[in-house]
Amino acid sequence: MGRLSGRSAVITGAGSGIGRAASILFAREGASVVCADRAEGVNDTVKAITDAGGKAIGLLGDAGVDAFVKSCMDTAIAEHGGLDVVWANAGISGGFAPLHEQTADYWAEILRVNLIGAFLAVKHASERMIPNGRGSIICTASVAGIRSGAGGPAYSASKAGVISLAQTAANELYGTGVRVNAVAPGLIETGMTKPIFDGARARGNEDKIGQLNPLTRYGVPDEIAYAGLFLASDESSYVNGQTIAVDGGLSTSHPVVRRKR
């Protein structure tokens, strides 16, 4: 029996990176998965699951749009018989434009996807979980949301909001049996971080990627997926309102090379 045997899960941002790794892992552990993403890669994630004998459905849409998020939850119930786990993982980085060059629209889009998208997942998932008296909601935050030095201003602010959302939502859902937690990845090789990795490899500096954390290396999506699996499973039944940093120890100090303006 898998750790999620017989359970139904929704994972956003499932078309690549952490979302794909989590979808495949959850399915391998017995969950029936609704994989959501605005990129066509979500279909490849579903194929990888079904080819391995798992159960998955792919939905194309924007995780920052209310109606689409609601449809993901409703699809899980209609097609998989319930809703036990939701991982609000979809996000965008926005790049590293200097603060004085950023606009309100730029900030609004990052907050819409990263923070409002997580809020919508919590809202619609919890509404459907409360009648059953249980459920696990996971949000992808970032070490950038813990303190400065790991991301741009808008991205960092959005992820700090996700950390606060996990805390406040856990308390809003007091007594319901529904848990809300977050995972804060460090430097993970995904599509979002591709420019960092491509640049380092072009310069011949790949061995220096991740050197600022105590493990002196970067992480891979599976390492974040396993943290999410813990939060999705009954093994974390007394974990609520928390943010688990999976970052090689980076957030213990966040050393950073300063850039002069």
Residues 64-89 have pLDDT tens digits of 999 999 999 999 999 999 999 999 99
CA dist., res. 86 & res. 130, Å (int): 13
β 85-88/178-185 pair status: unpaired
Total residue count of the chain as it appears in this document: 261
Q: How far is CA 136 from the centre of its chain?
A: 13
Task: Extract the runs of DSSP E, i.e. beta strands, from 43-131.
Answer: 55-60, 85-88
Give domain limits for the chain.
8-243
Q: What is the pLDDT of residues 113-132, one digit of tens each?
A: 999 999 999 999 999 999 99
Topology adopted by domain 8-243: Rossmann fold (3.40.50)
Q: SS3 of 214, please?
A: coil
SS3 content of the chain, % helix, strand, coil (to 5): 45, 15, 35
Active-site residue, from 106, 155, 218, 238: 155
**DSSP summary character for residue 216:** -
Tokens of 61: 């849409």
Amino acid code (one letter) for 98: P
Token reading at 60: 């194309």
pLDDT tens digit sequence for 197-227:
666 667 777 777 778 888 888 899 999 999 9
| 174 has catalytic annotation | no
pTM given for the model:
0.93
Q: Give the position of tokens 């996700």.
A: 162
pLDDT at 159: 98
Whether 67 and 73 have beta carbons less than 8 Å apart is answered as no
